[in-house]
Amino acid sequence: MEKQIKKYTVYLDSDLHRALRVKAAQTEYSVSELVNEAVENALKEDAIDLEAFEKRKKEPLLAFEDVLKKLKKDGKI
């Protein structure tokens, strides 16, 4: 099955754009391929995070202040 490609305009910081162009030239990948890979990796990381949250949702919640108090009490901070 052939991948569908969608055209989309993205505005990049000029330094990021320059870095992408240099990387594209050095790796023989296009800027579009590098951006697609970066977005895909970011979405995969999000999916992994969501899966971890789902697995841990039944764990008790800890208030940050309580954790700090315990660390102080134990002499760790």
DSSP output for 9-27: -----HHHHHHHHHHHHHH
Q: Which residue ranges of the chain lie beneath pLDDT 50? A: none
Count, in order, helices (H) and strands (E) of the chain: 3, 0
Residues 65, 55: contact at Cβ < 8 Å? no
Q: For residues 40 and 34, what is the distance between their CA atoms, to the nearest angstrom?
A: 10
Phi, psi (deg, nearest 5) at residue 3: -70, 135
3-state secondary structure of 52: helix
Q: Is residue 5 part of a domain?
A: no
Expressed as residue numbers, the domain containing 42 is: 14-73
* pLDDT score recorded for residue 1: 74
Q: Model confidence over 10-31: pLDDT tens digits?
A: 999 999 999 999 999 999 999 9
Q: How many structural domains does the chain have?
A: 1
pLDDT of residue 2: 82
Do the domain assignments include residue 33?
A: yes
Q: Supply the pLDDT for residue 46.
A: 97
